[in-house]
Amino acid sequence: MKPSFETETFAVFDDFLGVERLEAVRRHLAEERFVFLKSVWKPHSFYRLIEGDPLIGPTIYHNHPQVPKGFSSYPSQTPSDHVVEALLDAEESLAPWIGLRGCAWDYFTCTPYLYPAGSGLSWHDDAKERSGSFVLYLHDEWRSTWGAELLIAMDTNGRNASVERYQGVHTDLGTYVAAVPNRLVVIKAGTPHSVKSVSTRAGENLRMSMTGFFQPLPKNARDAE
């Protein structure tokens, strides 16, 4: 699998899921139970009160020996497993950005999100105890006037891009990635990025995505295996 676009810090893969699997996941998420994010998470530096309120669905853990209470382990026996399986099939292609399984990461998560008009995500870098992250766009249509672009900062003139808590990002330039349906974006941990708010022009259309993190097991968990 070859990326449609790549840099040292992120890559874009289009037409990630097969047509039948994509439709199955869409149908499943249309009937899934979502809750408003701020009803389960306290506001913090990158989910702030001024940036609307996305909705979050059930998380699936792949290859975690102690899945937290209330979450599912793969296989979940739902169509969301198609996303897990596609990521596993693609792990060699994703390795330049997320590292190798067993070295940089041991498990990953898959969590569905819905972003209604007015909701977005502030600058952050997913660096804490992670090797990389991904977002897969699952909505069936997205227009350029509807917003929700993924903004990714880049290094310029030898200066490292870095997140400044609550105030934005230190960088001169960057890249945006449109929320094209069935597009996967993988991002190396430590790369500052954000999501522009969904425009009111989107109306009742929601930015639907599956997002997750590639992470190593804690040392004590590894030793116990």
Q: What is the pLDDT of residue 218?
A: 81
Provide the 10 A C-beta neighbour count for residue 69.
5
Q: What is the pLDDT of residue 43?
A: 56
Question: What CATH number has the domain bearing residue 45?
Answer: 2.60.120.620
Number of compact structural domains in the chain: 1
| Long-range contacts of the stretch 163-168 (C-beta < 8 A, 24+) | 163/123, 163/124, 163/125, 163/192, 164/123, 165/45, 166/45, 166/48, 166/122, 168/123
Greatest Cα pair distance, the chain, in angstroms, is 52
Q: What is the pLDDT of residue 125?
A: 84
Band of the pLDDT at 211, cuts 50, 70, 90?
very high
Q: Is 95 exposed, middle or buried (0-12, 13-18, 19+ CB in 10 A)?
A: middle
Q: What is the pLDDT of residue 128?
A: 76
Q: 57-61, 75-79, 103-107, 218-222 — which is least confidently predicted?
A: 218-222
Find the mean pLDDT for residues 31-58. 77
Average pLDDT of the chain to the nearest whole number:
89
Q: Range of 70's domain?
A: 5-224
Q: What is the pLDDT of residue 168?
A: 57
**pLDDT tens string 11-25:** 999 999 999 999 999
Q: What is the pLDDT of residue 206?
A: 97
Cα angle: 60, vertex 62, 65; to 5 degrees: 110
Find the mean pLDDT for residues 172-193. 93
5, pLDDT greater than 60:
yes
Q: What is the pLDDT of residue 155?
A: 64
